[in-house]
Amino acid sequence: MLALPMIALAGNIKSPNGNIEVKFSVDNTGRPVYEMTYKGREVIKPSHLGLELAKDKHASKGMDETNLIDGFSIAKEETSTFDETWRPVWGETATIRNHYNELAATLLQADTKREILIRFRVYDDGVGFRYEFPQQQALNYFLIQEERTEFAMAGDHKAWWLPGDYDTQEQETQETRLSEIRECMKKAVNWNNSSVAIFSETGVQTSLQMKSQDGLYINIHEAACQDYATMHLELVDDQTKAFTTKLGGGSNAYTPSPKPSAYPLPQPFTFVSHLTPDATGLKGAMQTPCETPWRTVMVSDDARDMLANNLILNLNEPCKIEDTSWIHPTKYCGVWWEMIVGKSSWNYTDDFPSIKLDKIDWNSVKPNGRHAANNEKVKRYIDFAAKNGLDEVLVEGWNVGWEDWANMWKRDVFDFVTPYPDFDIKMLNEYAHSKGVKILMHHETSSSSQNYERHIKEAFELMNKYGYDAVKTGYVGDIIPRGDHHYSQSMNNHYLYVVKEAAKHHIMINAHEATRPTGLCRTWPNLVGNESARGTEYEAFGGSNPDHTCILPFTRLQGGPMDYTPGIFVTKLSEWSDNPSWARITLAGSLALYLTMYSPLQMAADLPENYEKFDDAFQFIRDVACDWDDSKYLEAEPGDYITVARKAKGTDNWFIGGKCDENGHTSVIKLDFLDKGRKYECTIYADAKGAHYETNPQAYTISKRVVKAGDILKLKEAPGGGFAVSLIAK
């Protein structure tokens, strides 16, 4: 370790255009403090940084000091500037500029002789900072009790929040003031989710979108979360007595750590980081040299900038996959919605309440007659995909084990290689390939992560053998090994292990129920999708609010694309099933989601027969691209409306989508982004007069005209509706 002079410094650093400024110092107790402004307005008031370590019974003598909170002085400060433009393998734009000013402050804790570094990157649209722990005698292995990063808000902002939870994000977003979070928490939780683990009456998830009373949009999230637990935020309000109170409920609700933090509570309206624990209640096991993920604060006075922001991708490392030619944007349909809705089943037989994979002869069991992943049906989906230019067909329930997959403690649930007797894996893949279509693999792990790791090599080899190049993984239920959580350090390591193993096999990953994304898809672009929020499946479980999709791009999508599985045309499910639930969206609104919910992986989720009834509207799903050279957010307000125009990769064609909440919206779109002097065939799919997400969802109109740069489109969106436009260059 370096012998560093004990000098107190304070650093100020501005973003390249000067709009954002960060001030950094240590206070009179040696606690690191930062603050942040945007155009001179307070975004983060002075807030402490630091970590509490846990006593490590294996630590050598003198190494069991747990304080990484105070007693620091700034030993060194370095500033630098960085400016590069990089090309994502897939994305919303062909190139991304990564331009920031950096401040790296080395801090020395005199009593322990420990050294940490806090690095700030200040962009024009936000700030990222992280803790780094260099290799040193006095700090090598350490356990984290809690990270104590504070984000002091300047007022009682409006917030779009999800209950902080160690295991699920599949909840409706709440829109309240910060001061109302506590009273709304209990009703905000859907306790029926397959694993709920709430930790506090004021704990919320990131990415957290806020709006100040004077119109600043502020978003807190994290970037590059690897080998570290997912961060939540615990709000200190005027009722907070100590961190981490117990709320209870759910299948594995958390018992809080017995000892409240010894450090004083910050002022009300301060968020404090709260990491996801592992099965022992600890928040992380670290070895130097190492670092935390980036803590991010994005800010603008224009909501559209929040959606165009690339801060989180930029804070991730460049792509680590050398040959990316096998990674491709994908449109797919699937043997899926009919199981979610309850008309058919994943399992093959209903005869056994439990099965052991090695003790059953599948050829002699009685089929239930509802098993959807059968040769005939899969061929029908392949034909549908081939006819409509869809790249892949997801088939769920193809493999043995679904009879008792949802048993919470079953360890050896699936082997990921044995098909049910009515799914001829060789024949179906050959049939698909002969029509230019691929089958999209499905690996539900039932959250038995060790079981998946044990089988993953054979599972990926099987995929390579039959020509699958993408897999949807799933983590329904409580994590096995027991007591662990979906968003812990060890599970985050598991998800990344799967992505890296998949890359070796040239396989793309779409992980459901995994941890919320933090931009790792820049480094590992075979991570083409995640669920990690309430997806379309909830339209079959009672429905989601019409504004849900006008919030997700501000929150969940900040870290990476979502496999939202849009495209429900027959929204009243009772029209074709016994399910009374219905999707709160118009048909034209469903088309808009292919633009507003950016993803390189897009599903056409409804049944082929439902699409065949509305073939003229389905033309938009056939035509729309899912990889882009450019994107322009034209209108946006969280929870109200989003309008975006995107230029399809490698073409001169544009597509525009507009989606609104339950109040309807009128969009005025100036086509000033089109090439001058060029004509475009414009097809508009819009809500018809009288359309309404509840009473008249299938009322749409399709109109065509020729347009040019500078023309104006005025489009009316119905309550819960939207529109989709294709502009094909002539």
Residues classed as catalytic = 537
Nearer to Ca ion, 283 or 512 (CB): 512
Q: Which is nearer to ligand NOJ, 588 or 597 (CB)?
A: 597
Query: Nearest distance from residue 442's CB to ligand NOJ, in Å?
Result: 7
712 and 684 in contact (C-beta within 8 Å)? no
- Please report whether residue 410 would count as binding ligand NOJ according to CB under 6 A: no
What is the x/- site pattern for ligand NOJ, positions 14-43, by CB under 6 A?
------------------------------
Q: In whole angstroms, what is the distance from residue 300 CA to residue 325 CA? A: 36
The least CB distance from residue 400 to ligand NOJ, in Å, is 14
CB of 560 to ligand NOJ, least distance (A): 16
C-beta of 125 vs 444, nearer to ligand NOJ: 444
Binding mask 526-565 for Ca ion (x = CB under 5 A): ----------------------------------------
Collapse the DSSP code of 654 into the 3-class scheme (helix H, G, I; strand E, B; otherwise coil) and give the result: strand
Given ligand NOJ, Ca ion, none, residue 328, with its beta carbon under 5 to 8 Å by kind, binds none
Neighbour count for residue 12 (Cβ, 10 Å):
13
**Residue 622: which region, alpha, beta or left (left: phi > 0; alpha: psi -120 to 50)?**
alpha
Per partner kind, with CB cut-offs from 5 to 8 A, the member of Ca ion, ligand NOJ, none near residue 444 is ligand NOJ
Start-end of H helices in 66-207: 181-188
For residue 345, the minimal CB distance to ligand NOJ (Å) is 11
CA dihedral for 704, 710, 712, 717, sign (positive or negative): positive
Cα–chain center distance at 348: 32
Does residue 293 contact residue 354 with C-beta atoms inside 8 Å?
no
CB of 209 to Ca ion, least distance (A): 22
Element containing residue 383 per DSSP (H, E): helix 375-388
State the minimum distance, in angstroms, from the CB of residue 313 to ligand NOJ: 24
217-223 and 72-86 as β-strands: parallel, antiparallel, unpaired?
A: unpaired
With CB under 5 A, what is the number of residues at the site for Ca ion? 1
Q: Which is nearer to ligand NOJ, 378 or 642 (CB)?
A: 378
User: Of 565 and 653, which has the nearer Cβ to ligand NOJ?
Assistant: 565
Q: How many CB atoms lie within 10 A of CB 4?
A: 15
Token pair 């909830």 in the structure block, residue = 538
In angstroms, the CA 218 to CA 300 distance is 7
Task: Assess 65 for contact with ligand NOJ (CB under 6 A).
Answer: no
Q: 628 touches which of ligand NOJ, Ca ion, none (CB within 5 to 8 A by kind)?
A: none
CB of 445 to ligand NOJ, least distance (A): 9
Mark 484-523 with x for binding to Ca ion (rule: CB under 5 A) and - for no binding.
----------------------------x-----------
**Which positions ≥6 away from 624 have C-beta within 8 Å?**
591, 594, 595, 602, 655, 724, 726
Instruction: Say if CB 411 and CB 451 are below 8 A apart.
Output: yes
Work out the angle between the directed axes of helices 449-466 and 489-504 (0-180°, nearest 10).
Answer: 10
Q: From the CB of 394, what's the least distance to ligand NOJ, in Å?
A: 9
Which sign does the torsion angle of CA 605, 608, 613, 618 carry? Answer: positive
Closest residue by beta carbon to ligand NOJ? 444
178 binds, among Ca ion, ligand NOJ, none (CB under 5 to 8 A by kind): none
Three-class secondary structure of residue 660 per DSSP: strand
Question: Which of the residues 324 through 353 are near ligand NOJ (CB under 6 A)?
Answer: 336, 340
Nearest by Cα to 229 from 280, 274, 171, 289: 274
Q: Which amino acid is at 313?
A: L
Q: Which is nearer to ligand NOJ, 130 or 472 (by Cβ)?
A: 472
Residue 444 in the binding site for ligand NOJ (CB under 6 A): yes
C-beta neighbour count of 387 within 10 angstroms: 13
Angle subtended by helix axes 449-466 and 425-434, to nearest 10: 50
Choose between 130 and 512: whose C-beta lies nearer to Ca ion.
Answer: 512
516 binds ligand NOJ (CB under 6 A): no
SS3 state at 648? strand
Instruction: By CB under 6 A, name the one of 138, 476, 634, 728 that touches ligand NOJ.
Output: 476
Residue from 531, 606, 627, 629 binding ligand NOJ (CB under 6 A)? 531
Contact 670, 685 (CB under 8 A): no
**Closest separation in Å from C-beta 420 to ligand NOJ:** 15
> Which of 65, 234, 396, 539 touches ligand NOJ by CB under 6 A?
396
Binding residue for ligand NOJ (CB under 6 A) from 31, 304, 371, 512? 512
Q: Select 148 or 512, whichever has its Cβ closest to Ca ion.
A: 512
Least Å from the CB of residue 381 to Ca ion: 21
Say which residues have a Cβ less than 8 Å from residue 608's Cβ, sequence separation at least 6.
Answer: 333, 380, 381, 384
Q: Is 682 helix (H, G, I), strand (E, B) or coil?
A: strand
What's the alpha-carbon Rg for the chain, to the nearest Å? 26
Rounded Cα distance between 510 and 487, Å, is 17
Q: Given the structure tokens 């940084």, which residue do they identify?
A: 49
- How many residues bind ligand NOJ (CB under 6 A)? The answer is 9
Closer by beta carbon to ligand NOJ, 346 or else 655:
346
CA distance 206 to 162: 8
* CA angle in degrees (0–180, nearest 5) for 306-308-313: 95
Rounded Cα distance between 687 and 86, Å, is: 39
474 touches ligand NOJ by CB under 6 A: yes
Name which of 145 and 532 has its Cβ closer to ligand NOJ.
532
| Site residues, ligand NOJ (CB under 6 A) | 336, 340, 396, 444, 474, 476, 512, 531, 537
* Residues lying near Ca ion in the complex (CB under 5 A): 512
